[in-house]
């Protein structure tokens, strides 16, 4: 996977614990007993540092023989993580580090089978497995909760990165190749194929990516940042197999590596394995991969580039983007980087920031330019600010506003409350516990460490905050002086503008065709014969049954047979609203949620619910205007969000709950303030600020439009499932292409008053206690206060003056299940969810092609099957995984060249086949048909089924953060007993059951199918009247 921004990374080396150390209570305390200078399995401990604010101990080591750097973060977290990163500094845009990242995962000395990486996804209980290419490093991370699994994955990752096969056919498949359109027909034309080639064609359909890439290339033109590390589709065909192997030899060496481990597993075991299986086989070298400092400019520079038109942009005449960027100091100066990152947030974050007021509220554009703010992903950081969605004539105006705003900030500085709100946000980030904290940390430190900065200093956030406060105290103009130094008086300043060219994609295709023509014309008859033979050889290899027995694996018996039950208490607040309390180790944080159903909302208002949700907390409430409200939310909470939700019933596909989820979090000391804000939002929301509403609408419409290239498969899946269940239509209304187009229409309106008038009408149906339930996750000590504060909130919220009847007449009531060990202060029958049922619903087939000017497709086919509690649901879930790994991966990615593809079963009973950044469309739909036939034929072994179970269980048993425990019960009405029953159904899936469900649901005429494609014009579809083209 290519990351156009770098990640930040950690160096992790672990240390040897003597047996007595293991009696210590937790991992970070045990690690404090390591001694500097201690030698363990070929490593020497260089530093042992407690980082109490993150509840961890950092242990820095180096490998004696190779000089490899290692950082271990010992923390009492069972979701353990490993990563190794290499500094990769390409000097051309052939995408060599990206193609290499793909190819090393295709087989190694110890594991020579094809594609061990994808095969390990099904032989492991990993919670995360991936690889990333950034602009100047490549990272290989995985995480798991199982010690044996950690050893297995570590062995595969070490062998892949240090001893890969790098076979020519794998390079052809993953990178690029010339191949006949039909590999079996030597008369068919030769074309470019390859996974990375198609991935990068897809990446550059995203105008934000085009802009961001050019910005970095031109601001840092002296070395590796001047090229595209992921690969330019027009340059990728210049890469040779020999160059790939050479790049590996020079960059993938322990002396150029940084190892990182995190969690509570014994560290000596990691060190021993890493030394024995990899590092002991190398000698120290000078990798010579250092990135030199960028030479500062003597005067500012300007560039203009072009991109493809955005058919979903709000105004065709306003699709220009402009930004002004400044080169900043190196990222290894930890405190300066911390200061500039904070300064960036003060300048651009939220409606109180100077650039938001000056640019966003100017009405000139739709949103900030891409890559806005502080970017610490390159050796020297940079700051960028500008606007997208402007008219070309306004470029100079935007530049003038930026210059003027910088002058104003130098003169006036920042309000104390803005600075406090920002430091409060950092305090919350330190206390909030995510289920993937190890991965967050490895990404956070990657870039700094990559350039030999100190990753441990980066983690000591309390020191940095204290130093920052001290600097402000000693010099109240501290930040103003930074603005003057780095923005006002900085000659290394780039103005980049980008405008759409109607012929952009046409020109790209023309250049690709020209390159192809040149390459084909230079081929001798012998070359052509070899290409044909290699194409057949690759196809034969892709089609051959694979022996993966060399790979390590867990067994189904390694999966925990039962789930840990989550204790929840349910009480009625103010005698009518059920509140679920879940006591968890939340580290001084309180998490509040409320769910309110939409049953009484008139149908014509439903399309506007997502807009209502997105603006509700941003337009002011009570006596607070929108700026004051934003300030209070920043000062007192970790965020307040509102989202529409559609939840299919667990036992009936035509029954569902529709509503809105309100979520927020805060430090326990701020709970009364946070709940007071919710009271004001519920009782007195402001919907009067027309100009600010227009700003919010334009930003939202722009964001939706920009998100399509990255999420095209999700939009295709939503559309394909639209007519299969009652929830499908609602999901499409709330989250699909219908919503994208509605927001585009609203953003284009000159008079938004008719839309604004709908918001108070929605409020009447939604912001009351009539059909509400709440949940609180906090520590046991916080619960008494939480109960009082939530009770007060509920008492303050209004009731409907008259009973509002549901719009749909069929309402069924279902009790909320509380988990077996919950103490329920109320009769469970009183805690009811009101669901809509549509007994007369008739699913129907629909085929939709959304025309988008992309050179790749996103394809989806959906099938209506059965709900969660039906035993067949478990079989279909395993089948989806089987189809992905044993059929679709080979056909869609390896043979078809798409970046991704597979099958999945949703909780709502929709079985989906999809492809992502796919050069094919109709052919992929034919492959889906063959996948159904393959499933019905039963050509899979017990080993295949067991591997699919491991893969499914790694998702089912993914770690859940303390903030999210009990959510399944609260939102979906799923008790622990129901989840345990489903677990047992998954264990019980057999070969016979898989063939049975394949025949029962996936055959032609068995269930209703829906199809959708997002992508370029297609002659076959255009001629087929069964398709709706939009």
| % of the chain at pLDDT higher than 70 | 95
Give the confidence band of 181 by pLDDT, cuts at 50, 70, 90.
very high
Chain segment 148-172, per-residue pLDDT in tens? 999 999 999 999 999 999 999 999 9
Look at residue 801 in the predicted model and tell me its pLDDT: 61
Instruction: Give the mean model confidence (pLDDT) for residues 964-974.
Output: 94
Look at residue 802 in the predicted model and tell me its pLDDT: 62
Residue 756 has pLDDT above 70, yes or no: yes
Look at residue 545 in the predicted model and tell me its pLDDT: 82
Within 10 angstroms of residue 517's Cβ, the number of other Cβ atoms is 11
Give Cβ neighbours of residue 1014 (< 8 Å, ≥ 6 apart): 708, 712, 715, 716, 737, 850, 852, 854, 857, 858
Q: Which runs of E-coded beta strand occur in 758-864?
A: 772-778, 811-815, 823-824, 832-837, 847-851, 857-864
Residue 770 has pLDDT above 90, yes or no: no
Going by C-alpha positions, the residue among 682, 643, 645, 639 that lies closest to residue 664 is 639
Roughly what angle, to the nearest 10 degrees, separates helices 267-277 and 147-162? 30
Phi, psi of 685, deg, nearest 5:
-70, 150
Contact 559, 984 (CB under 8 A): no
Look at residue 727 in the predicted model and tell me its pLDDT: 94
Chain segment 521-546, per-residue pLDDT in tens? 999 999 999 999 999 999 999 888 87
Chain segment 914-954, per-residue pLDDT in tens? 999 999 999 999 999 999 999 999 999 999 999 999 999 99
> What helix, strand, coil percent values describe the chain, rounded to 5?
45, 20, 35
Instruction: Give the mean model confidence (pLDDT) for residues 4-10.
Output: 31
CA 432 remoteness from chain centre: 18
Chain segment 82-95, per-residue pLDDT in tens? 999 999 999 999 99
Chain segment 208-250, per-residue pLDDT in tens? 999 999 999 999 999 999 999 999 999 999 999 999 999 999 9
Length, in residues, of the chain: 1030
Contact 141, 439 (CB under 8 A): yes
Roughly what angle, to the nearest 10 degrees, separates helices 726-735 and 690-720? 140
Q: What is the β-pairing status of strands 847-851 and 1028-1029?
A: parallel
Distance of alpha carbon 784 from alpha carbon 691, whole angstroms? 43
3-state secondary structure 912-948: EEEEEEECCCHHHHHHHHHHHHHHHHCCCCHHHHHHH
Chain segment 585-617, per-residue pLDDT in tens? 999 999 999 999 999 999 999 999 999 999 999
Look at residue 885 in the predicted model and tell me its pLDDT: 94
Look at residue 219 in the predicted model and tell me its pLDDT: 98
Chain segment 424-479, per-residue pLDDT in tens? 999 999 999 899 999 999 999 999 999 999 999 999 999 999 999 999 999 999 99
Dihedral (C-alpha) 696, 697, 700, 706: value to the nearest 10 degrees? -130
Which residues partner with 301 through β-bridges? 494
Look at residue 1004 in the predicted model and tell me its pLDDT: 74
Chain segment 945-961, per-residue pLDDT in tens? 999 999 999 999 999 99
Structure tokens at 55: 């509840």
Q: Which of 261-275, 508-522, 800-814, 970-984 has the lowest mean pLDDT?
A: 800-814
Helix (H, G, I), strand (E, B) or coil at 586: coil
Chain segment 498-529, per-residue pLDDT in tens? 999 999 999 999 999 999 999 999 999 999 99
pTM of the predicted protein model: 0.93
Going by C-alpha positions, the residue among 419, 403, 415, 412 that lies closest to residue 487 is 403
Give the confidence band of 576 by pLDDT, cuts at 50, 70, 90.
confident
Give the confidence band of 13 by pLDDT, cuts at 50, 70, 90.
very low
Residue 12 has pLDDT above 50, yes or no: no
Give the confidence band of 813 by pLDDT, cuts at 50, 70, 90.
confident
Going by C-alpha positions, the residue among 836, 826, 835 that lies closest to residue 577 is 826
Give the confidence band of 648 by pLDDT, cuts at 50, 70, 90.
very high
Helix (H) / strand (E) element for 804: namely none
Residue 21 has pLDDT above 50, yes or no: no
Look at residue 3 in the predicted model and tell me its pLDDT: 52
Residue 807 has pLDDT above 90, yes or no: no
Distance of alpha carbon 148 from alpha carbon 1014, whole angstroms? 42
Q: Which of 24-33, 372-381, 488-497, 796-805 has the lowest mean pLDDT?
A: 796-805
Contact 84, 914 (CB under 8 A): no
Distance of alpha carbon 38 from alpha carbon 61, whole angstroms? 10
Give the confidence band of 825 by pLDDT, cuts at 50, 70, 90.
low
Supply the Cα-derived Rg of the chain in whole angstroms.
29
Q: Which of 359-363, 795-799, 846-850 has the lowest mean pLDDT?
A: 795-799
Give the confidence band of 974 by pLDDT, cuts at 50, 70, 90.
very high
Residue 758 has pLDDT above 80, yes or no: yes
From 101, 680, 732, 791, the catalytic residue: 101
Structure tokens at 583: 């006591």
Look at residue 8 in the predicted model and tell me its pLDDT: 27
Structure tokens at 871: 């035993």
Look at residue 224 in the predicted model and tell me its pLDDT: 97
Residue 16 has pLDDT above 50, yes or no: no
Chain segment 977-1005, per-residue pLDDT in tens? 999 999 999 999 999 999 999 999 997 77
Q: Which runs of E-coded beta strand occur in 284-344?
A: 301-307, 320-330
Residue 317 has pLDDT above 90, yes or no: no
Q: Where are the alpha helices (DSSP H) in 670-782?
A: 671-683, 690-720, 726-735, 737-748, 753-756, 758-766
Residue 69 has pLDDT above 80, yes or no: yes
For residues 868-901, one letter each, b for 16 or more C-beta atoms within 10 angstroms of the residue's C-beta and e for the rest, the string is: bbbbbbbbbbbbbbbbbbbbbbbbbbbbbbbbbb
Helix (H) / strand (E) element for 597: namely strand 589-597
DSSP state of 678: H
Look at residue 818 in the predicted model and tell me its pLDDT: 58
Give the confidence band of 853 by pLDDT, cuts at 50, 70, 90.
confident
Helix (H, G, I), strand (E, B) or coil at 191: strand
- Whether 101 is a known active-site residue: answer yes
Distance of alpha carbon 405 from alpha carbon 513, whole angstroms? 46
Helices (H) and strands (E) in the chain, counts: 35, 32
Give the confidence band of 312 by pLDDT, cuts at 50, 70, 90.
confident
Look at residue 401 in the predicted model and tell me its pLDDT: 98
Distance of alpha carbon 122 from alpha carbon 944, whole angstroms? 9
Average pLDDT of every residue of the chain: 93
Structure tokens at 969: 């019960």
Look at residue 832 in the predicted model and tell me its pLDDT: 80
Query: How far is the CA of 699 from the CAs of 354, 367, 631, 745, 861, in angstroms?
Result: 17, 5, 20, 13, 31
């Amino acid at each position: 996977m290519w990351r156009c921004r770098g990640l930040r990374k950690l160096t992790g080396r672990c240390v040897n614990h003597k047996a007595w150390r293991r009696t210590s209570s937790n991992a970070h305390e045990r690690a404090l007993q390591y001694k500097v200078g201690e030698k363990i399995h070929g490593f020497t401990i260089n530093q042992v540092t407690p980082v109490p604010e993150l509840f961890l101990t950092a242990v820095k080591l180096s490998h004696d023989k190779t000089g490899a750097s290692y950082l271990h973060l010992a923390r009492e977290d069972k979701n353990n993580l490993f990563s190794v990163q290499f500094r990769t500094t390409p000097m051309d845009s052939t995408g060599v580090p990206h193609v290499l990242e793909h190819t090393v995962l295709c087989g190694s000395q110890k594991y020579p089978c094809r594609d061990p990486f994808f095969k390990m996804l099904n032989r492991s209980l990993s919670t995360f497995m991936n690889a990333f290419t950034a602009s100047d490093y490549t990272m290989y991370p995985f995480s798991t909760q199982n010690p044996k699994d950690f050893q297995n994955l570590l062995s595969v990752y070490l062998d892949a990165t240090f001893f890969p096969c790098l076979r020519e056919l794998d390079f052809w498949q993953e990178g690029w190749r010339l191949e006949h359109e039909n590999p079996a027909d030597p008369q068919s034309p030769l074309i470019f194929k390859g996974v990375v080639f198609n991935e990068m064609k897809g990446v550059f359909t995203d105008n934000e990516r085009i802009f961001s890439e050019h910005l970095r290339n031109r601001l840092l033109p002296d070395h590796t940042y001047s090229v595209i590390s992921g690969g330019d589709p027009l340059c990728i065909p210049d890469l040779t197999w020999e160059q790939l192997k050479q790049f590996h030899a020079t960059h993938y060496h322990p002396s150029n590596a940084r190892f990182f481990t995190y969690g509570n597993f014994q560290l000596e075991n990691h060190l021993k394995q890493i030394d024995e299986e990899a590092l002991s086989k190398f000698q120290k070298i000078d990798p010579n991969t250092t990135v030199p400092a960028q030479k500062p400019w003597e005067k500012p520079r300007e560039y203009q580039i072009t991109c493809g038109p955005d058919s979903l942009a709000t105004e065709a005449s306003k699709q220009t983007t402009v930004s002004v960027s400044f080169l900043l100091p190196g990222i290894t100066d930890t405190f300066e980087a911390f200061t500039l990152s904070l300064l960036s947030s003060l300048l651009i974050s939220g409606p109180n920031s100077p650039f938001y007021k000056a640019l966003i509220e100017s009405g000139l554009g739709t949103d900030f330019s891409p890559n806005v703010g502080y970017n610490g992903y390159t050796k020297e950081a940079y700051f960028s600010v500008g606007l997208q969605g402007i008219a070309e004539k306004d470029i100079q105006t935007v530049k003038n506003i930026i210059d003027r705003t910088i002058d104003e900030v130098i003169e006036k500085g920042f309000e104390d409350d803005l600075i406090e709100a920002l430091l409060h946000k950092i305090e919350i980030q330190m206390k909030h516990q995510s289920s993937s904290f190890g991965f967050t940390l490895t990404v956070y430190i990657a870039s700094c460490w990559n350039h030999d900065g100190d990753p441990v200093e980066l983690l000591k956030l309390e020191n940095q905050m204290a130093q920052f406060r001290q600097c402000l105290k000693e010099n109240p103009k501290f930040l103003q002086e930074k603005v003057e130094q780095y923005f006002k008086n900085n000659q290394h300043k780039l103005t980049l503008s980008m405008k759409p060219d109607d012929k952009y994609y046409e020109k790209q295709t023309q250049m690709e065709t020209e390159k192809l023509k040149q390459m084909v014309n230079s081929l001798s008859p012998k070359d052509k014969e070899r290409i044909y033979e290699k194409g057949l050889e690759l196809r034969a290899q892709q089609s051959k049954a694979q022996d993966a027995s060399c790979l390590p694996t867990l067994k189904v018996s390694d999966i925990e047979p039962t789930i840990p039950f989550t204790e929840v208490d349910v009480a009625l607040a103010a005698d009518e609203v059920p509140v679920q309390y879940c006591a968890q180790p939340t580290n001084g944080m309180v998490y509040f949620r409320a769910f309110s159903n939409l049953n009484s909302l008139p149908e014509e208002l439903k399309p506007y619910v997502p807009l209502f949700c997105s603006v509700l907390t941003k337009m002011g409430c009570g006596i607070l205007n929108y700026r004051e409200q934003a300030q209070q939310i920043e000062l007192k909470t970790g965020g307040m969000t509102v989202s529409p939700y559609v939840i299919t019933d667990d036992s009936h596909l035509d029954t569902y709950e529709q509503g809105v989820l309100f979520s927020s979090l805060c430090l326990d000391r701020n709970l009364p303030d946070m709940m007071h804000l919710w009271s004001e939002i519920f009782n007195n929301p402001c919907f009067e600020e027309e100009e600010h509403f227009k700003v919010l609408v334009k930003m939202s419409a722009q964001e939706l439009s920009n998100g399509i290239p990255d999420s095209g498969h999700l939009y295709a899946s939503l559309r394909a499932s639209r007519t299969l269940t009652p929830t499908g239509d609602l999901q499409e209304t709330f989250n699909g292409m219908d919503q994208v187009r509605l927001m585009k229409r609203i953003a284009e309106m000159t008079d938004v008053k008719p839309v604004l008038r709908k918001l108070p009408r929605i409020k009447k149906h939604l912001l009351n206690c009539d059909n509400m339930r709440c949940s609180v996750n906090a520590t046991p000590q916080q619960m008494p206060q939480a109960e009082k504060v939530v009770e007060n909130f509920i008492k303050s919220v209004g009731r409907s003056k008259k009973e509002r009847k549901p719009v749909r007449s069929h309402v069924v009531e279902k009790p909320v299940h509380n988990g077996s060990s919950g103490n329920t202060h109320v009769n469970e029958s009183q805690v009811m969810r009101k669901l809509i049922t549509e007994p007369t619903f008739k699913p129907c087939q629909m085929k939709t092609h959304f025309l988008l000017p992309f050179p790749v497709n996103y394809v989806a086919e959906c099938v209506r099957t059965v709900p969660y509690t039906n035993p067949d649901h478990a079989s279909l879930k395993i089948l989806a995984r089987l189809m992905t790994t044993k059929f679709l991966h080979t056909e869609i990615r390896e043979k078809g060249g798409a970046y991704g593809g597979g099958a999945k079963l949703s909780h709502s009973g929709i079985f989906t086949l999809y492809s992502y950044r796919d050069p094919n469309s109709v052919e992929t739909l034919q492959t889906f048909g063959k996948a159904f036939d393959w499933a019905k034929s039963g050509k899979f072994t017990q080993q295949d089924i067991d591997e699919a179970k491991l893969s499914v269980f790694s998702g089912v048993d993914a770690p859940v953060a303390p903030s999210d425990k009990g959510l399944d019960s609260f939102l979906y009405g799923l008790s622990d007993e129901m989840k345990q029953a489903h677990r047992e159904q998954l264990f019980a899936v057999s070969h016979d059951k898989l063939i049975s469900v394949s025949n029962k649901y996936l055959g032609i005429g068995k269930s209703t199918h829906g199809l959708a494609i997002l992508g370029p014009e297609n002659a076959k579809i255009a001629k087929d009247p069964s398709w709706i083209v939009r």
